[in-house]
Structure 1
Amino acid sequence: MTEQHDPNSQQFSELTDSVNNKSLGGSWKNRVAGVWNKATTNLTQLLPVEQVAQTVIQWFSVSEAQVAEILEKVRAELPTTQALLVGKPQAGKSSIVRGLTGVSAEIVGQGFRPHTQHTQRYAYPSNDLPLLIFTDTVGLGDVNQDTQTIIEELLGDLEQETRSARILILTVKINDFATDSLRQIAQQLRQQYPDIPCLLAVTCLHEVYPPDTVDHLAYPPDFEEVNRAFTLIQETFAGLYDRCVLIDFTLEEDGYNPVFYGLEALRDTLAELLPQAEAQAIHQLLNREEAGNQIGNLYRDTARRYILPFAIMSATLAAVPLPFATMPVLTALQVSMVGLLGKLYGQTLTPSQAGGVVSAIAGGFLAQAIGRELVKFIPLFGSAIAASWAAAYTWALGEAACVYFGDLMGGKKPDPQRIQSVMQEAFKAAQERFKGIKR
């Protein structure tokens, strides 16, 4: 059977490709308006609403391959750092992850996943778009484990080609001097990969503080016990590291302040060893106020590549001059968009769950949507007004969904008031953007 070529499908495909490969600036409004006007002409030929819905569903579909391609392009531009954490259990490796990411101990514990027999991997903020990738050794120091097998697995991991910057972090407790196996691993890793910088992180300083010490001193700590142990560890690993740093990352309930003692020293030392882009990313991540904005902007820039086609299709459907007839189709379209954005943020939703998210974040816009549908009764002007409103609303809904899913990804409870504020601001801005859509 000969496959029929749908010109409207090609128009939307070209628009989507344009969004994926170009910025949204410049003449994008003209391109949007042109596509919208052509598509609307065909849709408003008194097609049954069911046929309109089926046509739109055929026009727009994002395959797994397309999602993977877009994410790969974004990943290629990310200043990602791969940190290989080598140390015994309880040496403070997970604490380093907490210090550099700011996430809770529970989230860190749940985020590590088996990578090989003796390694686990944790990507922050997500596997799809990571800024930091931590690989943690498992079983090191266990007498029942073969150290050579662990070394071979680490070397095999380093053999994999990557665009990411790499750094080796040797973690040693300040009161642990049984480090022969750790030194053996460090020797072979450095021998095989001398260009990968190595940081020696000496941890758990409070365990050698004098008995009457109740809190940290000003950094760096000037205790004789700390200085003596630190010097001995440096001598043990002489020639196997590029920089060394003293840190003591504890839990809040331990009572030491600050909780991440020496975090600034760790940050600055990492910056000395990493390329400029990755070092800057580390600094931004450690600025907790800026970190959320940096990561949020990264995800939203990617999400907008999906939101725009949905906004244009919403405008096209809203132009059908039948009051309320297109509301179910528009809702289904917007639910599909939210489901896709959830997937981008690592949240897999059923259609009913995505619909619940739409209801939760749309708020008072529902009444406005019904009012706008009634405007269609006004001859000549109604459909055009409804179309631009639908495009702006769908855009704002997508922006609000990004905030909602971003909060979930960060382990926070979504703030309805903040989400509503974002949606209101995005709607106003989108109204200006979509003014070019007219009959």
Structure 2
Amino acid sequence: MTEQRDRELPSSDRITHETVKESQSDGIHAVWNQTTAKIMQLLPVDRAAQTIVNWFSVSDERVAEILATVRAELPTTEALLIGKPQAGKSSIVRGLTGVSAEIVGQGFRPHTQHTQRYAYPTNDLPLLIFTDTVGLGDVNRETQAIAQELIGDLQQASHCARVLILTVKINDFATDSLKQIAQTLRQKYPDIPCLLAVSCLHEVYPTGTADHPDYPPQFDVVTRAFSAIQQNFSGLYDRAVLIDFTLEEDDYNPVFYGLEALRDTLADLLPEAEARAIYQLLDEKTGQQLGNLYRDVGRRYMLAFAIAAATLAAVPLPFATMPVLTAVQVSMVSLLGKLYGQTLTPSQAGGVVSAIAGGFLAQAIGRELIKFIPGFGSVIAASWAAAYTWALGEGACVYFGDLMGGKKPDPQQIQAVMRSAFQSAQERFKGIKR
């Protein structure tokens, strides 16, 4: 981010009086307003505002330290995608994350000679980790090498819940190499659940079929092929599902045909916390409120960070989670900035967080103090943290969108967007808990 753009950030002086104003007008809970008023009485206004900002200020080193610790607390699922090229593995990633094919393609990074890895939403805060096999063919030597690399991965100690996803095109019966890998992994790790995902259904639809039928498809050709594949992999998987994830330009509706079945089946195979995270990531309300391309992708990332914030905010220690939430939000703003073409250091991202948060800072104090209420504090704090993180993401998108368009960000417009987003997000994340 250039120095000129850094100078365009609203100053801490500008948010001083807004902090007081917002704490009086937004009134999320009477306790918050009363607490804020007492703080303002005890300290000079400028000093109070600076004290609040300092609570949300975390050094780059501390951010890195916190994020390293936070990773162990998140309900992360690692999905090992095993299948031949063009079998629909990347499409499964798109379906579960909601991000575009281009971004999914850019997100994968080489992991070993025959595998690539993609962490969503970021490597620092992964809710989903996808390991994709590459180069899988019918050459026996390659098959053995891929199997050994996967075994090496699975031997590593990990707090993640793990699931194997065998991906097979419905019209592909040359699957000896995939079957060999599945047999090796099943024998070595029988306790890791395995899902058989049969894809590309439209390639065998009867002639003249213009769109997907009601799910599940009742075409005889699909039923016969699905049964044959299941029989071929008998004993090597726990559950099987039919999916057809296409691109918008393919003109098949819905684009992610069978996504609910995939979600429910994965949830059945995963521990409770990880299953809940997947359901939250596929929240239908988010999909109904998508805007342009940038906001579309941005909101998918915001949802993931909101879930992470709620998970961490459930820790029942007043003020203990503030630095952790700040680190999560700094990471989110950094990622959103990159999406809009702005590369920020953690310090710069923290500056954006402090600048656009405005009057929400005082209310955040109330969120922490309400944890003293026995029984209900942590649940309220978790839902508040999710809603606030979402609202902050919306404000950051407006901020970066203005910069992309060559405009100076308008603090009042950003605050209005955040207030509106926060109110709607409160309802969406009501009752969310770890």
User: Hey, what's the Cα distance between the residues in 2 that align with 1:105 and 1:214?
Assistant: 23
Question: What amino acid sits opposite 1:421 in the alignment?
Answer: A
Verify the 8 A CA contact 2:60 2:346 in the aligned structure 1.
no
Match in the other structure for 1:305: 322
Answer with 170-179 or 212-221: which moved more: 212-221
Contact map agreement 2:163 2:192 (CA 8 A) in 1? yes
- Aligned with residue 87 of structure 2, among 87, 91, 99: 91
Task: Give the structure 1 partner of residue 226 of structure 2.
Answer: 230
In the alignment, is residue 189 of structure 1 matched against residue 185 of structure 2? yes
Cα distance in 2 for residues equivalent to 1:230 and 1:247: 11
With normalisation by structure 1, the TM-score equals: 0.63
Deviation of the 1:349 alpha carbon: 1.7
Map of 2:416 onto structure 1: 421
Contact 1:124 1:133 (C-alpha < 8 Å) held by counterparts: yes
Q: Which residue of 1 aligns with 2:196?
A: 200
Query: Which residue identity does 1:295 align to in structure 2?
Result: A
Following superposition, the deviation at residue 156 of structure 1 comes to 0.5
- Tell me the SS of whatever aligns to 1:214: coil
Q: C-alpha separation between the residues in 2 aligned to 1:398 and 1:243?
A: 36
| 2:248 pairs with 1:249 | no
1:265 is aligned to 261
CA distance in 1, matches of 2:66, 2:347: 26
* Structure 1 residues 344 and 305, CA gap change in structure 2 (3 angstroms): farther
Quote the sequence identity (%): 64
Counterpart check, 1:175 vs 2:171: yes
Asked if 2 retains the 8 angstrom alpha-carbon contact of 1:400 and 1:420, the reply is no
Amino acid at match of 1:251: L
Q: Deviations over 1:106-144 (max 9, x none)?
A: 111111111111111111111111111111001001649
CA deviation digits over 1:297-323, x for unaligned, max 9? Answer: 3466679834999xxxxxxxxxxxxxx
Alignment of 1:393-404 (within 5 A): 402-404=393-395
1:349 aligns with 2:348: no
CA distance in 2, matches of 1:176, 1:393: 57
Alignment pair present for 1:79 and 2:75: yes
Q: CA 1:151–1:35 in 2, change beyond 3 Å: closer, same or farther?
A: farther
Measured in 2, the distance between the counterparts of 1:351 and 1:165 equals 29
Partner AA of 2:272 in structure 1:
Q
| CA-CA distance at 1:294 after TM superposition | 4.4
The aligned runs of 1:267-306 (5 Å cut-off) are 267-290=263-286, 292=299, 294-298=303-307, 305-306=322-323
What amino acid does structure 2 have at the position aligned with 1:68?
A
| CA 144–420 in structure 1, closer or farther in 2 if over 3 Å, else same | farther
Q: Deviations over 1:1-30 (max 9, x none)?
A: xxxxxxxxxxxxxxxxxxxxxxxx999979
The 5 A counterparts of 1:7-86 are 62-86=58-82
Change (3 A) 1:62 1:140: same
Code of the residue aligned with 2:344 in structure 1: it is L
Which has the greater radius of gyration? 1
Distance (Å, rounded) in 1 between the aligned partners of 2:351 and 2:305 = 22
- C-alpha distance in structure 2 between counterparts of 1:85 and 1:164, whole Å: 15
Q: Is the 8 A contact 1:204 1:249 kept in 2?
A: yes
Q: Distance in 2 between matches of 1:130 and 1:89?
A: 25
- How far has the Cα of 1:360 moved from its partner? 9.6
Contact 2:119–2:130 under 8 Å retained in 1: yes
2:415 partner letter:
Q
Q: Deviations over 1:143-191 (max 9, x none)?
A: 4962111111000011111111110000000010110000000000111
Check the 8 A contact 1:400/1:419 in 2, yes or no. Answer: no
Number of aligned residue pairs: 334
Alpha-carbon distance in structure 1 between the residues aligned to 2:80 and 2:346: 39
Structure 2 CA distance for partners of 1:64 and 1:145, relative to 1, 3 Å: farther
CA distance in 2 between partners of 1:142 and 1:115 (Å): 22
Q: Matched residues in 2 for 1:308 and 1:103: separation?
A: 24
- SS of corresponding position for 2:154: helix
What's the secondary structure of 1:76's corresponding residue? coil
Aligned equivalents of 2:94 and 2:360: distance in 1? 43
CA deviation digits over 1:303-362, x for unaligned, max 9? 9834999xxxxxxxxxxxxxxxxxxxxxxxxxxxx9887448685426997699689959
Q: Is the 8 A contact 2:36 2:362 kept in 1?
A: no
Cα RMSD over matched residues?
4.7
- Change in 2 beyond 3 A, CA 1:408/1:151: farther
TM-fit CA distance, 1:426: 11
* Kept after mapping to 2: 8 A contact 1:80/1:133: yes
Aligned-pair distance for 1:267?
Answer: 1.1
5+ long unaligned stretches in structure 2: 1-30, 288-298, 314-320, 366-387, 423-434
CA contact (8 A) 2:334 2:349 kept: no
Structure 1: any 5+ residue segments left out of the alignment?
A: 1-24, 42-51, 310-337, 366-388, 428-439
Given that 2:331 and 2:346 are in contact with CA atoms closer than 8 Å, whether structure 1 keeps it comes out as no
1:109 aligns with 2:126: no
Cα distance between partner residues in 2 of 1:390 and 1:203? 46
Residue of structure 2 equivalent to 1:328? none
For the residues of structure 1 that align with 2:275 and 2:161, how far apart are their CA atoms?
10
SS in 2 for 1:134: strand
Structure-to-structure mapping, 1:208-227, within 5 angstroms: 208-227=204-223
Distance verdict in 2 for CA 1:399–1:222, change over 3 Å: closer
> 2:71 is paired with a residue of what secondary structure?
helix
Distance in 1 of aligned mates of 2:169 and 2:336: 36
1:84-105 deviations in Å (ceiling 9; x for gaps): 0000000000111111111111
TM-score for both structures, normalised by structure 2 = 0.63
**2:160 paired residue among 160, 164, 168:** 164
The residue that corresponds to 1:436 in the other structure is none
